[in-house]
Amino acid sequence: MARLNRSDFLGGAAALGAASLAAPAAAAGNYGDLPIAGTVTIGVAAPFTGDALKLGEQLGNGVRAAIDDTNQLRGTLDKAFQIRTFDDQNLLATGIQSAEFACDDSTIVCVIGHLSGKITNAALTTYVNNGMPVIVPATTYDPITSHGYGSVLRLSTKDSTEGRLAARNAELLKATNAVVLYQDGDYGLDVAAGFHNQLLADKITSKALGFSWSAPNFAEVAKTTLDSKPDIIYMAGLVKDMGGMIPALHDAGYTGLLYASQGFFDALTISKYGSAVEGLVISSSMPPLQLAPSDFRVRNNFQNKYGVMTPLSTFAYAAAQIAISGVHRTGATDRIGLARALSYATPFDTVLGSLTFQNDGDPSNPNIYFYTVKNGAWSYLHASHKTEFILK
């Protein structure tokens, strides 16, 4: 059974909302007569079977929706776009194999994927060696952009940067003494390190406390945490793994501010812990689309076809917009041409706002958005820094 980790996918996919290896590439989309300018194919590598099927479909539907919206507006001399899916089953070996399948298809100009950070990272060598541009919509896993590959773009804010930006928000919350909690699993360390190091740089007392992922003793960790008399506790983890800290801290007598990374931006946080998480503050790469008037048509069209536009669908839609924009700007018809188009440090207008990218492939001006639990529901607070496409 594949194990899903928060480092594998954008937080909140569960909260807000198939191809097989025998036939690894399945074309989707019929847009009428062949266009004079030809058709461009975008590959999507994600789990389209197995335990993570629903998450993979969210990625696929985001790309499908962007292609549908583009094709409906194309003129006679415009290129048409289509999607071809590759099922990685959210497994490492299968992910590398699906990358090979995608690269072997000469019609594909770029790949959007994968869901898992570790699978994406392992498959990058295959993509780069074959000159395949990769747009990463989901994972916040730090190593993705650590290699210096010029043909890899990542949309979401990486873990260590999220932690750093969240720490700056802690200053706004008037924190003077923090404890940062993380587990020894796949996710949490990079976020915790970013948060902890930023607090220390800002001369705020901070203690980082790691504990077991496989056999956590929440009561003992709560006692050790409160020995430091913190006025803010930051939980860098997944709610399904670290959520037990919430009642443990409550039972130990903690009444201060609870703060968490986007691994807690999940329906489970409220449904399982109820009033105990009232006032909890979390950070996330996901902007409040309901406050972005320019996204109304996109969200409405998506909902009519696929249902609620989840964070995964939103980031996949934006990834497809970037690929499509690269083709439109340069007339690229192959992966080499598109890789060149994506390397320019120019803005891309997307459902996530205007995005530009650094040489390492991360956003030039990364942002995160803060939410709190208010009256048993998620309520938007503010962004790490002001962005024009959000009204508030």
Here the CATH number for the domain that contains residue 164 is 3.40.50.2300
Pick the more confident residue, 264 or 389.
264
Number of domains in the chain: 2
Which pLDDT score is estimated for 109? 96
360 in a structural domain? no
- Segment among 117-126, 251-260, 318-327, 336-345 with least mean pLDDT: 336-345
pTM as predicted: 0.89
For residues 133 and 270, membership in a common domain is answered with no
| CB-CB contact of 157 with 170 (8 Å) | no
Question: Which residues touch 314 (CB under 8 Å, ≥6 apart)?
Answer: 62, 286, 289, 351, 352
| pLDDT above 90: percentage of residues in the chain | 80
Q: Based on the fold, state whether residues 276 and 142 are members of the same structural domain.
A: no
| Domain with 223 in it | 159-284+368-383
115-144 residue pLDDT tens: 999 999 999 999 999 999 999 998 999 999
**Residue 15: pLDDT band by 50, 70, 90 thresholds?**
very low
Q: Residue 274: inside a domain, yes or no?
A: yes
Per-residue model confidence (pLDDT) at position 19: 34
Residue 86 lies in a domain: yes
Same domain for 233 and 208 = yes
pLDDT of residue 75: 78
Report the DSSP beta bridge partners of residue 374: 377
Number of residues assigned to the chain: 392
Residues 233 and 181: beta-carbon distance below 8 Å: yes
Greatest CA separation found in the chain? Answer: 71
- Is 363 within the bounds of a domain? no
Average pLDDT over residues 206-222: 97
Rounded Cα distance, 127 and 58, in Å: 23
Per residue in 153-198, pLDDT (tens digit) is: 999 999 999 999 999 988 777 889 999 999 999 899 999 999 999 9
| Range of weakest confidence among 6-15, 43-52, 133-142, 341-350 | 6-15
CA 201 and chain centroid, separation: 27
Token pair in block for residue 359 = 């040489």
Please give the single-letter amino acid code of residue 28.
A
- In a shared domain, residues 375 and 231: yes
Half-sphere exposure (Cβ direction) of 350: Cα atoms closer than 13 Å: 28
Quote the mean pLDDT of the chain.
Answer: 90
Beta bridge partners of 43: 84, 111
Helical axes 311-330 vs 53-72, angle rounded to 10°: 40
| pLDDT exceeds cutoff 80 at 1 | no
Q: Would you say residue 314 has pLDDT above 70?
A: yes
What pLDDT sits at residue 8? Answer: 54
Strands 177-183 and 205-211: parallel
Alpha-carbon span 45 to 52, nearest angstrom: 13
Residues 35 and 83 in one domain: yes
Residue 218 lies in a domain: yes
As a whole number, mean pLDDT of residues 215-225 equals 98
- Tell me: do 279 and 195 sit in the same domain: yes
**CA 125 to CA 137: how far, in whole Å?**
18
One domain for residues 33 and 132: yes
Q: What average pLDDT does range 22-28 have in this prediction?
A: 39
| CA pair distance 154, 91, nearest whole angstrom | 20
Whether 10 and 127 map to the same domain: the answer is yes
User: Both 186 and 138 in a single domain?
Assistant: no
In-domain check, residue 389:
no
Single-letter code of the amino acid located at 64: R
Residue 29 scores a pLDDT above 60:
no
210 is a domain residue:
yes
24 and 142 co-located in one domain: yes
Does 23 have pLDDT greater than 70? no
Q: Is residue 297 part of a domain?
A: yes
On whether both 217 and 308 belong to a single domain, the answer is no
Cα(307)–Cα(384) distance, integer angstroms: 29
Q: Same domain for 326 and 236? A: no
Which pLDDT band holds residue 331 (cuts at 50, 70, 90)?
Answer: confident
Q: Is the pLDDT of residue 315 over 70?
A: yes
